[in-house]
Homo-oligomer: A and B are copies of this chain.
Amino acid sequence: MPKRKITVVITARPSYSRVKTVLSAIQNHPDLELQLVVAASALLDRYGSAINYIEKDGFAIAARVFNVLEGENLTAAAKTTGIGILELSTVFDNLKPDIVVTVADRFETMATAIAASYMNIPLAHIQGGEVTGNIDEKVRHAITKLADYHFVASASAQQRVIKLGEDPKMVFNTGCPSIDLAEEVLLSKMLPFNPYEKYGGVGAQPDLEKGYLVVMQHPVTIEYQDSRKHIEVTLEAIYKLNKPTLWFWPNVDAGADGTSTGIRAFREHHELPNVHFFKNMEGVDFLHLLQHSDCLIGNSSVGIRECAYLGVPVVNIGSRQNKRDRGGNSVDVEYSQQQIEEAVLQAIQTGKSGSSSLYGDGKSGHQIAELLRQLPLQFHKTIMY
C-alpha cells in the first residue's frame, strides 16, 4: 500500500512551533509521507524566518509560497489570503495530497482550507473550536465548517465543534501539540542557554539570575488602530516596574505597525536599563525561558496553554484570549497600567502553580499522526442537524 501523502501548510512562526511534534510524528511514521509547504510570513525575515528553523530541524520542504501582500492593513490581509488560494491550488494540484492539514486560525490559514476543500481533498484542522471573540473567531469557525477532521485542544473545544454541526466521530480531543514540547521543559532546573548570546537582540542585558519577566503582546486585529495605545500602556507598566525583562516583538498582523512603532518611539524617549528586546526564539528555547521566568505578560496564547502546563504565572492583557479556557496560572487584566503592575507583583509573590493538562498531556503529535493514517479519506459531509 502506498504511503498516505500528508500535506501540512505552515504560514507563520508560532504555527510551526505549535505543530512541530506533529510534523516529526508524520515524518517518522512508516505509513505516512510528509509534504511540507512553507508560506506567508513563515518565509519572511522580519517575522522571524520560521523557514530557517524548519530547515535546521531537518524537515524537507516540498514548496515555498511567498504570498504576503505588503500594507499591514486589512486589505492586505484579504489579498494575502486570495493569493494564497491561487498558489496553494497549484501546489496541491502538483503534490496530489491525500490529506491537507491546516493549523489554528490565522487569517491566511483560510487559504489552505479553501484550496483543499474546493479541490475535494480531505482537510484536517488542528485547534478548532476555541472562543476568543475577535476576527480569528470568524476564521476559526469558518475553517471548522470546511474541514473534515478536527483535532482540538481541549474538551470544551471538542464540545463546541460538535455543536457547530460536525460529526462527533470526526472530532478528536488530541490536546495541543505545543504541549508536547513543554513536556520535556517541565523537568528543566535551569536555563540551558544564554539568551543574549544565542539570540542577540537589542537593549540592556539585565542579570537573569534573580528572576525576570517576559513580555509578548500582539496587536488585536479588530482594534488595530488602538494597537499603539495598547502597547504604550504595557510599556509604561514595565518601565515603572523596572525589573529584568525580556520583550518579544509582535508577529505579523494588521496593526503590527502600531505595536512596533509604539515600541520604537518609547525606546527613543525612555531609558530602559532593565529591558532587552528579542525578535524571536526557537519554540523550545522560549518555553525554557518561560519555565524559569517569574511571569509572562501580554496576550500570547502561550500564556494560556503552555504556561498552564508549566504552571508559570501569566498576566493576560485585554481581549485577545477572551473566553479561552484558563488554568489556575493566569490572571486577566484590562489595558491599565495600574492593573498590570499590581498583577505582576502579585504573580511574583505567588510563584508557580501545579501543571495542568487542560490543553494536552504531551502525546498530541503521535496521536494526530496515527489518526491521519487511520481516518477514512472523505470530503463529503453535511451538517448534523
A contact set with B: CB distance below 8 Å: 43-45, 63-71, 73-79, 81-87, 89-94, 107, 110-111, 114-115, 117-120, 131-135, 137-138, 141-146, 160, 163-165, 202, 222, 257, 268, 322-323, 379-383, 385
Contacts and interface: CB of A to CB of B under 8 A. Distances in A.
A110 B141 CA distance: 14
Given A78-B114, A133-B382, 18 more contacts: A63-B90, A66-B70, A66-B73, A75-B90, A79-B89, A81-B85, A81-B114, A82-B86, A85-B85, A87-B87, A87-B90, A120-B135, A137-B381, A141-B145, A142-B142, A164-B164, A164-B165, A323-B382
B43 A71 contact: yes
A383 B160 contact: yes
A270 B188 CA distance: 40
A127 B358 CA distance: 38
A94 B222 CA distance: 20
A144 to B, nearest CB: 8
Q: Which 6 A-B pairs have the closest CB atoms?
A: A82-B85, A82-B86, A78-B118, A68-B70, A142-B145, A141-B145
Contacts of A257: 45
B380 A134 contact: yes
A160 B384 CA distance: 10
25 contacts: A63-B90, A63-B94, A64-B90, A65-B90, A66-B75, A66-B93, A68-B69, A69-B70, A77-B118, A78-B115, A81-B82, A81-B114, A82-B111, A82-B115, A107-B118, A117-B138, A132-B382, A133-B382, A134-B380, A138-B145, A141-B383, A142-B143, A163-B385, A222-B379, A322-B382
Contacts of A87: 82, 86-87, 90
Given A81-B114, A87-B90, A89-B79, A382 B71 contact: no
Contact of A90 (B45, B68, B90, B119): B90
Contacts of A89: 66, 75, 78-79, 82
Contacts of A379: 222
Nearest to A132: B382
A66 B69 contact: yes
A113 to B, nearest CB: 8
Given A68-B71, A90-B63, A135 B163 contact: no
Contact of A66 (B90, B268, B323): B90
Contacts of A67: 69
Given A131-B383, A141-B145, A78 B70 contact: no
A135 B381 CA distance: 8
A164 to B, nearest CB: 6
Nearest to A166: B141
Contacts of A63: 90, 94
B120 A222 contact: yes
Contacts of A268: 202
Contacts of A146: 138, 142
A71 B51 CA distance: 13
A43 B69 CA distance: 12
A367 to B, nearest CB: 25
Contact of A71 (B44, B111, B117): B44
Contact of A44 (B70, B81, B93, B160): B70
